[in-house]
């Protein structure tokens, strides 16, 4: 099952945290710096659990200057999609995606991945990340020493993944007992996700969850990494335990997502859409868990696990208006292994349609051709 394994490695880095639930795409971009006025002179400042921190006066922006719409459009026209995505992730953008802007970007030949990256790098999404990184159930106000709050602010505002990781390590050494440490670890995991280091993503999300098991941002990022072959293949002896852990974490994440509060000025429709999109991601990960459990059977693909995978992927793609192409692809894999070749062709075809301009389309198209060829020859579905 080489194709699936290559694809899942690519998809893993497209899996995002809850904060990017509007569409799974390139890895998340840390939020822009936010600051409050210092309301006390005691050296302590109140840090809201929406992750807004204090400081005297206005703090200077951290990291590179955000890209303008004109800059992004120009770069789309002259640079490869990978370069555009990298720059957008590192710098952020100073505008929020609208239908008109998306139309302009696509006219400049932007791929779906580029559009997703730009959407996730906008001020509103980054602000949402800042508000929600600590997850539901953490409402209230805690007293945090000013220097810790300022250090946390710098970590949130750092767009360069290597610098963000360094800032996290420095924070952990200076403030090992800080109430902010569980959430600080998320930004290290996020940085390693951007760098493509799955082992470190799992390590740092684990650190965050050890300090706070309800740390939703860490939980979702971890759930996306645990069942991928790149991680499982390095831990063959623990494969079953890892998949069981991923399933437990995913179910816990579903519970926490249901507790996410509605944001100020958010309409009921937007709130429900946000919850649905977030839940879609988790079901996609559960689908991958069951697919990996199915192909891990010594006696051939486990039919019961394939059925679960099919249902999870179906749930993932139907409950959101921005389904992830990878979920359609893996739905096709589950159907193919289950001998449901017509359903597999339909799922692969949908993956290609949703994944226009990505490698998923290339792999999906190849699978469709292979299945049609085998059907014409009267052959059985290929084994994993």
348 exposed, middle or buried (CB, 10 Å; 0-12, 13-18, 19+)?
Answer: buried
pLDDT at 384 (0 to 100): 58
| DSSP SS3 for 111 | coil
- Per cent of the chain over pLDDT 70 is 77
Q: Which residue has the higher pLDDT, 125 or 273?
A: 273
Buried b (16+ CB within 10 A) or exposed e, 251-286: ebbeebbeebeeeeeeeeeeeebbbebbbbbbbbbb
Could you tell me the pLDDT band of residue 382, with boundaries at 50, 70 and 90? low
Q: What is the pLDDT of residue 126?
A: 63
Q: For position 41, what pLDDT does the model report?
A: 26
CA gap 20, 16 in Å, rounded: 6
Residue found under tokens 């709130």: 271
> Within its chain, how far is the Cα of 19 from the centroid?
8
Q: Please say whether the beta carbons of 69 and 165 come within 8 A.
A: no
Q: What is the pTM of this model?
A: 0.66
Tokens of 29: 């971009």
Mind listing the pLDDT tens digit for each residue in 199-211? 999 999 999 999 9
Mean pLDDT for all residues in the chain: 79
Q: How far is CA 151 from the centre of its chain?
A: 24
Decide if 250 contacts 221 (C-beta within 8 A).
no
Contact 231, 202 (CB under 8 A): yes
Decide which of 245 and 356 is more confident: 245
What does the domain layout of the chain look like in residue ranges? 1-27+226-384
Q: Which of 148, 218, 214, 158 is nearest to 189 (CA)?
A: 218
Whether the CB-CB separation of 202 and 222 falls below 8 Å is answered with: yes
* Two structure tokens written together for 126: 């980054």
* pLDDT value of residue 131: 47
Would you say residue 68 has pLDDT above 60? yes
The DSSP line for 22-82 is TS--SPP-PPPP-------SSSEEEEETTS----SSPPPPPSSPPBPHHHHHHHHHHS-HH
Is the CATH code 1.25.40 the one for domain 1-27+226-384?
yes
Of 132 and 168, which is predicted with more confidence? 168
- Enumerate the β-bridge partners of residue 47: 142
pLDDT digits (tens, 9 = 90+) for 295-342: 987 788 999 999 999 999 999 999 998 899 999 999 999 999 999 999
- 67 DSSP β-pair partners: 93
């Amino acid at each position: 099952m080489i194709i699936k394994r290559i694809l899942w490695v690519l998809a893993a880095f497209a899996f995002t945290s809850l904060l990017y639930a509007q569409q799974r795409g390139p890895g998340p971009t840390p939020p822009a710096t936010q600051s409050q006025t210092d309301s006390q002179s005691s050296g302590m400042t109140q840090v809201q659990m929406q992750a807004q921190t204090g400081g005297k006066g206005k703090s200077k922006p951290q990291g590179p200057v955000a890209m303008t719409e004109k800059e992004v459009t120009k770069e789309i026209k002259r640079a490869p999609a990978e370069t555009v995505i990298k720059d957008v992730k590192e710098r952020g953008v100073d505008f929020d995606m609208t239908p008109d802007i998306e139309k302009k970007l696509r006219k400049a030949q932007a791929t779906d991945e580029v559009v997703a990256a730009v959407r996730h790098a906008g001020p509103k999404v980054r602000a949402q990340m800042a508000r929600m990184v600590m997850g539901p159930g953490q409402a209230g106000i805690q007293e945090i020493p000013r220097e810790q709050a300022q250090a946390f602010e710098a970590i949130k505002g750092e767009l360069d993944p290597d610098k963000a990781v360094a800032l996290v390590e420095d924070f952990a050494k200076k403030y090992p007992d800080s109430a902010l440490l569980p959430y600080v670890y998320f930004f290290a995991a996020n940085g390693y996700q951007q760098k493509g280091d799955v082992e470190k993503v799992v390590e740092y999300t684990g650190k965050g969850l050890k300090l706070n098991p309800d740390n939703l941002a860490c939980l979702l990022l971890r759930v996306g990494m645990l069942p991928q072959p790149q991680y499982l293949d390095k831990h063959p002896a623990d494969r079953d335990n890892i998949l069981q852990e991923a399933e437990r974490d995913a179910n816990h994440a579903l519970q926490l997502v249901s507790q996410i509060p509605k944001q100020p000025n958010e309409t009921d429709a937007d709130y429900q859409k946000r919850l649905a999109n977030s839940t879609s991601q988790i079901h996609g990960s559960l689908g991958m868990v069951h697919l990996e459990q199915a192909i891990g059977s010594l006696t051939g693909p486990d039919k019961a696990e394939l059925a679960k995978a099919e249902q999870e992927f179906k749930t993932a793609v139907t409950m959101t208006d921005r389904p992830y192409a990878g979920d359609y692809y893996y739905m096709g894999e589950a159907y193919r292994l289950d001998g449901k070749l017509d359903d597999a062709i339909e799922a692969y075809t949908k993956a290609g349609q949703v994944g226009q301009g990505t490698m998923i389309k290339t792999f999906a198209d190849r699978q469709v051709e292979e299945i049609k060829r085998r059907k014409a020859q009267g052959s059985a579905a290929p084994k994993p």
